[in-house]
């Protein structure tokens, strides 16, 4: 079946240009709609639907309150932050033998990310650079995640047999009213508070005092920014420096704070025909469609609650069948199996999502600097090596720039359920079954190059650990007098740091380094060494955004059981009531059945999803494992 899914994915044709690159982290976590649950649709009322030989209209209406909750949440963390998540930190506080001893300060020991400054000597290759978050260079902390998704669904389900019009025809509709809560359960354990200030030139012409920095990484991830000091010299004023707040892919740190939602999920419709039908079996087909009534992602939060399919209209078809393979002599008790399956295409939906840069997982939290022609010329403008172009006093998290209005579609989503059911003469029914769900790789494309915040691809660049200000040599003045803005960019920077860590004030490894000059005078750092600027600077361009890196697919396996009772004492109507439970297991973190080797990954040859095990599937498999319980009650009429 999965080979068919890959073929279907390859056949999808986009109306805008797609992208293809390796995927290692997904800033947007996409799951199956609360409306897509073939097992919940089928259980408990099999004796009231798909009936044969009916001379009049018949039907059944049910209400299914259901509670679901995720487990095995490390799959979610891996999907969001893959590659930088560490397990069992030996250096973590409250640890014994390399395993975290979970106390009140430690939420989830197996899903942690370390944040450390550029002057921390024990930095690991997976550490996120604290400098990007406006923290001291000697700061260190551990971020812990234990994400959880909870749903309360009230599924309204209606089946209407249309035999009075055409024998065998039927109509189905269902639509859950859903409450959902997505809780990242994020906590931070500060290991070293940090006391360092930033030297002149790193963030501004003046040194940045520790008192203006943030106290922890949490402050950055919820949307706060440090205060950066600026030069007050009347002769060569650089002016105020702005460190923009994180506006997209933020973390939520409290229950009820922008992480709960109540909506009507997708409305699922089906019109079908049972062309084979008897008391012991039936076989039918149906045309299915789905109207989106939930919400769309807007990218504000890294783990934003979604109800429904994210704005996708769907159309497809389905097959249903059953066969009674045993019954007693009186035909009052029986045992049989039922199969329902459907496949739908998800049409393009306009969404706002946040993205990393290509091949730079989690770079949405890296730091960019604004490089352009200053609107007001400083007294000593940088004239060479890049005439009239320099840093212009602003920094921004990359997420603020890569958040984009994109088109997203999905070739195929399939849902198949198989169950065995025992029906007794007294009205007791027992269901035991299995459900398989899968969704092919999303196709994400940018319909309009201006649908992000990069300002024509010639304004923003990665800062890394480059110094943005140098100083003219002038005997008798302080080292921080006569500041000159540079155009130093570091396109090789990642979330882990720049090309030099700890930072080097001469900018030796920035892009295309050339000794900086201003009016033919060498520009120096604060230690009187020559400092480099970039000629030319390397900007962040729309083509650098990892749209394809963020594409996901999904697959899960579910087992379930349901017990119900139907009151058969009435001639024209029959109430029924039952309870059930299920456990669903996501197959996440795999790579098309092969083990990914990050160092050997090459560019994908497919615009949407590759199926070559040698280079691995670049489409992340993200989904949730969850358990659920429900009550299903209703009434059938004849």
Query: DSSP assignment, residue 490?
Result: -
Tokens 């949440």 belong to residue = 73
Quick one: pLDDT band at residue 375, thresholds 50, 70, 90?
low
Residue 212 CA to residue 199 CA, distance in Å, equals 13
Is 489 a residue whose pLDDT tops 60? yes
Most confident of 71-80, 108-117, 463-472, 514-523: 463-472
Residue 210 backbone phi and psi in degrees, to 5: -60, -30
The pLDDT tens digits for 62-120 are: 999 999 999 988 888 888 998 788 865 544 444 433 334 444 344 445 589 999 999 99
Mean predicted confidence (pLDDT) in 16-43 = 76
Mean predicted confidence (pLDDT) in 525-538 = 86
From the list 48, 90, 199, the residue with the least C-alpha distance to 635 is 48
Residue 43 CA to residue 353 CA, distance in Å, equals 36
Residue 369 backbone phi and psi in degrees, to 5: -120, 150
Report in angstroms the alpha-carbon separations of 351 from 300, 356, 542.
12, 16, 17
Residue 354 CA to residue 301 CA, distance in Å, equals 9
The pLDDT tens digits for 169-211 are: 999 999 999 999 999 989 999 999 999 999 989 998 888 889 9
Residue 102 CA to residue 109 CA, distance in Å, equals 7
At residue 521, the pLDDT reads 77
Tokens 């990665």 belong to residue = 462
Plot region of 365 (φ>0 → left; ψ -120 to 50 → alpha; else → beta): alpha
The pLDDT tens digits for 269-280 are: 999 999 999 989
Residues 89 and 124: beta-carbon distance below 8 Å: no
Is 7 a residue whose pLDDT tops 70? no
At residue 88, the pLDDT reads 52
At residue 477, the pLDDT reads 57
At residue 619, the pLDDT reads 86
The pLDDT tens digits for 571-614 are: 889 999 999 999 999 876 543 333 334 333 333 322 332 333 33
Pairing between strand 58-71 and 625-637? antiparallel
Quick one: pLDDT band at residue 28, thresholds 50, 70, 90?
confident
Residue 470 backbone phi and psi in degrees, to 5: -120, 180
Residue 21 CA to residue 444 CA, distance in Å, equals 12
Length of the chain: 638
Using alpha carbons only, give the angle 541, 542, 546 rounded to the nearest 5 degrees: 110
The pLDDT tens digits for 444-458 are: 998 887 778 887 888
Of 62-66, 187-191, 335-339, 477-481, minimum mean pLDDT range: 477-481
For 98, half-sphere exposure in the C-beta direction (CA atoms, 13 angstrom radius) is: 2
Query: DSSP assignment, residue 298?
Result: -
At residue 256, the pLDDT reads 62
Q: How many CB atoms lie within 10 A of CB 587?
A: 15
Residue 502 in 3-state DSSP?
coil
At residue 332, the pLDDT reads 82
Percent of the chain with pLDDT over 90: 61
Quick one: pLDDT band at residue 136, thresholds 50, 70, 90?
very high
The pLDDT tens digits for 211-241 are: 999 999 999 999 999 988 654 554 546 778 8
Q: Could you write out the DSSP letters of every residue in 353-388? A: E--PBTTBTTGGGSEEEEEE--SS--SS---BSSTT
From the list 122, 217, 13, 23, the residue with the least C-alpha distance to 621 is 23
Q: Where in the chain is the domain with CATH 2.40.160.40?
A: 1-68+156-179+266-355+409-451+548-638
Mean predicted confidence (pLDDT) in 470-482 = 67
Residue 111 CA to residue 89 CA, distance in Å, equals 10
Mean predicted confidence (pLDDT) in 288-294 = 97
Quick one: pLDDT band at residue 166, thresholds 50, 70, 90?
very high
Residue 149 CA to residue 178 CA, distance in Å, equals 12
At residue 232, the pLDDT reads 52
CATH superfamily of 1-68+156-179+266-355+409-451+548-638: monomeric porin ompg (2.40.160.40)
Using alpha carbons only, give the angle 494, 500, 501 rounded to the nearest 5 degrees: 85
Mean predicted confidence (pLDDT) in 282-288 = 97
Residue 110 CA to residue 99 CA, distance in Å, equals 9
How high is the mean pLDDT of the chain?
84
Plot region of 425 (φ>0 → left; ψ -120 to 50 → alpha; else → beta): alpha
Buried b / exposed e along 246-276 (16+ C-beta atoms within 10 A): bbbbbbbbeeeeebebebbbbbbbbebebee
Residue 350 CA to residue 366 CA, distance in Å, equals 26
- 3-state SS, 223-271, equals CCCCCCCCCCCCCCCCCCCEECCCCCCECCCCCCCCCEEEEECCEEEEE
Q: How many CB atoms lie within 10 A of CB 422?
A: 15
Plot region of 520 (φ>0 → left; ψ -120 to 50 → alpha; else → beta): left
């Amino acid at each position: 079946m999965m080979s068919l899914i890959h073929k279907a994915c390859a056949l999808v044709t986009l109306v805008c240009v797609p992208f293809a690159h390796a995927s290692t982290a997904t800033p947007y976590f996409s799951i199956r709609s609360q409306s897509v649950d073939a097992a919940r649709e089928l259980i408990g009322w099999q004796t009231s639907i798909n009936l044969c030989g009916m001379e009049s209209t018949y039907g059944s209406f049910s209400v299914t309150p259901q509670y679901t909750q995720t487990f095995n949440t490390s799959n979610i963390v891996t999907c969001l932050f893959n590659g930088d998540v560490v397990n069992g930190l030996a250096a973590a506080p409250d640890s014994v033998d390399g395993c975290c001893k979970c106390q009140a300060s430690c939420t989830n020991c197996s899903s942690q990310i370390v944040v450390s400054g550029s002057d921390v000597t024990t930095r690991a290759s997976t550490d996120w650079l604290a400098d990007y978050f406006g923290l001291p260079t000697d700061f260190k902390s551990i971020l812990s995640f234990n994400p959880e998704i909870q749903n309360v669904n009230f599924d309204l389900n209606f089946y209407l047999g249309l035999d009075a019009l055409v024998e065998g025809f039927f109509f189905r509709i269902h639509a859950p009213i859903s409450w959902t809560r997505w809780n990242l359960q994020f906590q931070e354990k500060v290991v070293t508070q940090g006391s360092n200030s930033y030297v002149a030139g790193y963030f501004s012409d003046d040194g940045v005092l520790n008192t203006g920095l943030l106290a922890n990484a949490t402050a950055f991830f919820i949307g706060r920014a440090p205060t950066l000091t600026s030069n007050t010299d009347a002769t060569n004023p650089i002016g105020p420096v702005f460190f923009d707040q994180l506006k997209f892919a933020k973390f939520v740190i409290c229950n009820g704070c922008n992480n709960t939602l109540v909506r009507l999920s997708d409305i699922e419709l089906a019109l079908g025909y049972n062309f084979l039908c008897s008391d012991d079996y039936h076989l039918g087909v149906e045309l299915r469609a789905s109207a989106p009534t939930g919400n769309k992602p807007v990218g504000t939060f890294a783990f934003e609650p979604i109800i429904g399919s994210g704005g996708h209209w769907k159309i497809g078809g389905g097959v249903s069948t059953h066969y009674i393979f045993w019954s007693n002599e009186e035909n009052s008790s029986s045992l049989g199996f039922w199969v329902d399956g459907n496949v739908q295409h998800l049409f393009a939906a306009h969404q706002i999502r946040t993205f990393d840069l290509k091949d730079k997982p989690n770079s949405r939290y890296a730091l960019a600097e604004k490089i352009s022609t200053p609107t007001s010329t400083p007294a000593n403008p940088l004239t060479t090596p890049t005439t009239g172009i320099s840093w212009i006093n602003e920094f921004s998290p990359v997420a603020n720039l890569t958040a984009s209005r994109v088109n997203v579609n999905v070739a195929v989503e399939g849902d198949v359920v198989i169950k065995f059911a025992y029906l007794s003469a007294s009205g007791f029914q027992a269901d035991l079954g299995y459900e398989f769900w899968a969704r092919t790789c999303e196709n994400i494309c940018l319909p309009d190059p201006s649908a992000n915040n990069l300002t024509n691809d010639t304004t923003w660049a990665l800062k890394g650990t480059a110094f943005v200000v140098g100083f003219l040599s002038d005997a008798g003045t302080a080292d921080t007098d006569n500041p000159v803005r540079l155009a130093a960019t570091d396109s090789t920077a990642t979330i882990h740091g720049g090309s030099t860590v700890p930072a080097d004030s001469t900018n030796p490894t920035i892009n295309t380094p050339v000794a900086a000059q201003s009016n033919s005078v060498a520009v120096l750092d604060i230690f009187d060494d020559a400092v480099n600027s970039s000629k030319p600077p390397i900007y962040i361009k729309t083509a650098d955004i990892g749209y394809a890196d963020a594409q996901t697919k999904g697959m899960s396996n579910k087992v379930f059981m349901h017990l119900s009772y139907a009151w058969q004492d009435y001639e024209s109507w029959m109430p029924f009531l039952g309870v059930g439970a299920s456990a669903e297991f996501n197959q996440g973190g795999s790579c098309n059945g092969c083990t990914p080797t990050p160092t050997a990954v090459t560019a994908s040859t497919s615009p949407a999803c590759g199926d070559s095990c040698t280079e691995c599937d670049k489409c992340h498999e993200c989904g949730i494992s969850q358990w659920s319980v429900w009550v299903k009650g209703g009434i059938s009429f004849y």
